[in-house]
Structure 1
Amino acid sequence: MQAMIFAAGLGTRLQPLTNNTPKALVKLNGKTLLQRSIENLQQQGCTRLVINVHHFSDQVIQFLREHQNFGIEISVSDESGELLDTGGGLWKAQSLFKTDEPILLINVDVLTNLSFKELINYHEVNQSMATLVVRKRRTSRYLLFDGQQQLCGWKNIKNGATKVSRPDSFEAATPYAFSGIHIVQPSIFQQIEASGKFSIIDLYLKLAQTQRVKAFIDSQSLWMDLGKFEQVTEAEELIKAIDNNKSSKA
């Protein structure tokens, strides 16, 4: 398995924890978010990892060096010059991936015990260009999928803005919240026309007009993204639950 951790964000909503340290190195229950993400991927079979950096990038690079990359092959995609968002970040890192297997993408602030092997199997069985992990939860922006779990569009319920990929299915489509975990085929790089800074969601919405961009509906795993400082206590409790779940299966 090869994967990329998106770790370049500014972490503004986690201030004051990120005033002098990158979001990736924020500690919860004694471990940084980055270490938890690396170890989760490693335990689930990841052997090749790309991590993008921007905010306090030198600290992240030094952290990886001090821990000998946690015994896994890690390449750093340095965005110190410009933060490229998820789409641009993936595009910049393309030369660091193997071309013969899917790429798992995950945000560094996502905490989960989702089975990545199950996700990859679903992706491959459906022969999708991209597979997005989604959940039924309350948010302000939703991805819309039809009965075959094909991406049809996007909607912001706060301001009513929409982006439509498949007009025939859009109105009847089911809304789901994106979980910050996704898989793409390496051939996606041949489909990207944008460069510089751009959102990967916009890329998916464009690709979905003609290609398989599917939902993996996750209703079983423990999951959260640490988006705000006020969520730290909740995140620490979730980590305990994830660790306990691992212990019970050992």
Structure 2
Amino acid sequence: MKAMILAAGRGTRMKHLTDNSPKPMLQVAGKPLIAHHVERLVKAGFNELVINHAYLGEQIEAYLGDGSAYGCQIQYSHEKTALETGGGIFQALPLLVNEREPCFAVVNGDVWSDMDYQRLNKGIHHHAHLFLVGNPSHNPDGDFALHNGMVKVSEGEEAFTFSGLSILHKDLFDGCESGAFKLAPLLKKAMHSKQVTGDVYRGYWLDVGTPERLQEINQRLLNQ
């Protein structure tokens, strides 16, 4: 089973910090954020990784190389213009799946969690399995609800935030066409067909999307 790290975002909320560096290359506890993801995925048993990139993506390739220094093989999916989450994954599908292994793990390159990535290393029989977390202050209403292990669009019941960590099946992308599109509409469509499972992770999680949150995760890790 392979894993994909999403690293094509422009990172505009990071302001001047991403003027000359892609967001996944920002330093967290002395090394790029994306390097933490690579190391943790390898530790969890993933030895084949795919990374998409767009803005200044050559810096990511130059730093990580072919992955041999980390004990894995890394392939890159270059996007001339960012294809959004759904379009980026769809373009990379030929690198991620085959008939023998139709599932793959996905990690948003701009999140941090102390969840054991071994939880991502398992096949699924539905179209997606999402890891949800408690709602942060910047997303107080949450994204999705969970009922008997199935994820659904919230209709007033307790909702959680999608962590950016998931296991996806290639069938989620049936009928898609090349180009830029979001992942959320595909997930919501699959939810209506009861094709999305999930569970809630109660540990530490952070969307490293602003300079303030970047400082928060640096302080947390350096103080451990």
TM-score (norm 1): 0.80
Amino acid at match of 1:225: D
Find the partner of 2:179 among 177, 187, 196: 196
Residues 43-122 of structure 1: pairs in structure 2 closer than 5 A: 43-65=43-65, 68=68, 70-79=70-79, 81-99=80-98, 100-101=100-101, 102-121=103-122
Distance 2:76 2:110 in 1: 18
Greater shift, 178-187 or 30-39, is seen at: 178-187
Query: What is aligned with 1:235?
Result: 217
Distance 1:38 1:217 in 2: 23
Amino acid at match of 1:83: A
Residues 126-137 of structure 1: pairs in structure 2 closer than 5 A: 127-137=125-135
8 A Cα contact 1:135 1:179, kept in partner: yes
Matched, 1:181 2:157: no
Distance 1:171 1:59 in 2: 43
Superposed displacement of residue 148, structure 1: 1.6
8 A Cα contact 2:135 2:141, kept in partner: no
| Consecutive unaligned residues in structure 1, runs of 5 or more | 154-169, 245-250
Amino acid at match of 1:176: F
- Tell me the secondary structure at the aligned position of residue 174 of structure 1: coil
Runs of at least 4 residues of structure 1 off by over 6 A? Answer: none
Residues 26-45 of structure 1: pairs in structure 2 closer than 5 A: 26-45=26-45
8 A Cα contact 1:147 1:173, kept in partner: no
Query: What is aligned with 1:226?
Result: 208
Greater shift, 69-78 or 198-207, is seen at: 69-78
Change in 2 beyond 3 A, CA 1:96/1:141? farther
Instruction: Kindly provide the CA deviation profile for residues 37-93 of structure 1, in whole angstroms up to 9, marking residues without a partner as x.
Output: 1001111111110000101022112112287452311110000x2110110000000
Instruction: Kindly provide the CA deviation profile for residues 133-187 of structure 1, in whole angstroms up to 9, marking residues without a partner as x.
Output: 111223156323242232322xxxxxxxxxxxxxxxx535431111111111233
Distance 1:222 1:172 in 2: 25
- Aligned residue pairs: how many? 220
8 A Cα contact 1:107 1:180, kept in partner: yes
Distance 1:43 1:37 in 2: 10
| Consecutive unaligned residues in structure 2, runs of 5 or more | none
Amino acid at match of 1:148: N
Distance 1:92 1:119 in 2: 21
Distance 2:164 2:118 in 1: 17
- Tell me the secondary structure at the aligned position of residue 46 of structure 1: coil
8 A Cα contact 1:22 1:57, kept in partner: yes
Larger Rg: 1
Residues 122-161 of structure 1: pairs in structure 2 closer than 5 A: 124=124, 127-138=125-136, 139=139, 142-153=142-153
8 A Cα contact 2:11 2:23, kept in partner: yes
